[in-house]
Structure 1
């Protein structure tokens, strides 16, 4: 996952452009997976229910092109397949690191070693808990800041802090999830044009704190912050009125880059603790070891029944062959140089 500066710029530029362009894979069909319920869809793949305690996060898998497919369809299939595989590969590496350095406010990895994807403990989404009183939301902000502080101590940014990427256990504790955009400090900012992470060209703990402030603003006001920029890269922020001057200052200071660390932002947030935390401590009814055993049994059952866990899932060598077919050169850790924005030497109307 760690590349030269040129490789970083190349990969992150493509990740950014693909995420914000809403790339339309209209020529492709998502592969149907028998007896699997999709419970979540993200920019790079699907989340399937394994059982009541575990989910499988897999990259987006497309039906293979027919033998008489056009050159455009073949290119689209290869481009999208390689792209989604790379994103999941990056997330797998981050989650492996986090499995070795766990934190109570970061999602728990059950099994990161299977080719079909990443098995995770199942959690609740924001929508399952809302509306929630401000006092409880403040506890969530503190927990996510603890998770971010832990991540930043490892030299990694999340780079995609938003409501959809916050999950909750059944005791209503907040957990940071979705590490598909995560990267080491100094990588190009994947959301620069959207100002999600501020105006810095590269990501750091500062950019994550900026995004955290925007998420808090949205949860407190019900709307996303209207942040604009002029030609001199000066930012204009909306007026912050959450009903709590300490919380207002937290948002404003993070936007303005006034905190010298995520720990400092957390200490500010902890001043907001006006009431006693009445939530129960996190208690897992099924251990990670038991869930891993259940995953292995579930995988064996699908292989016995269907011959595979997921239909049309390519092997790593097949992915590499697709990349090399179009001149996308493999990187270390199977990270490829980005695909061009249009198929080379192919009529786009073909």
Structure 2
């Protein structure tokens, strides 16, 4: 017999989520995750993928991945610290460091793993972390795992950050203090004020940590938000993913050689989880090489992003203050956001509703992620569908 307490907990809480429009239905994509996708036999314009540059389905990446399977097998076979470090992992880390403009880099199994690993490897219960109030869930969990004192500052509010940094330093309670922020905030598309953050960090000797999961491949002509501001020698931790613009899977931290050496002996996901597969490692390396050689895909991404933004804004939708191709369409009410997303689906656009707890209550939205792989015809079709549903629901 299974636990009745568990059954009651699950049934009541799932019912509550559904009643409040907060229950997320998971759809299955039949085939590749490209600019168009198929779900339940229906072809849809895909505006929900993080595949910013279209690299997840790129022919060259598929080719090198197949070759790596033939030469190195389908799995690394061990954790990195035993004998799971393949020559392909070393080459990937060298490429990441060159790409991010740092002395060295370390690769992990996912971006979430990076934040769980790196923060807790350096910060502990005797330290404090100044964290932007809109930081990603993986940052929040990584901070909690470290057991450091978490001090939230208002989103991109530099006066609040400075005041809280001063209070933390003057209290004399902490051995080390870190300031941590997303480079690009994934729900609103705005960019962190890194020059000001670095200036405050220098004034108070703060450790700087930038999670550039949505910036790498997007900002700074593809090199990321830290490079966009020319701050490679000023930021201690550059964290990013290999699963968004890079198009594969995994994550990394780039920084000084001494930092990377420490993470390789003290970050638990690196020590206790099998390395990414040979195919993933070599495909990620190839993607980074492509971005270092050409900005063509990055330019196409921004062209498409600006085109979609302009179209939706002219229709009268609230697209927030995004500074990147990420284009939120803010509805407000959670149930209405879910209904809007469902109607878009029925008309041929896949744009997932984002509701609490991913975003604050009352700011439910449909988030659009245009990519370099979308055609103008696809975007025009999507805009026409947005217009139809927006008028139908009295949103515009």
Whose strand fraction is larger, Structure 1's or Structure 2's?
2
Whose helix fraction is larger, Structure 1's or Structure 2's?
2
TM-score by length of 2: 0.23
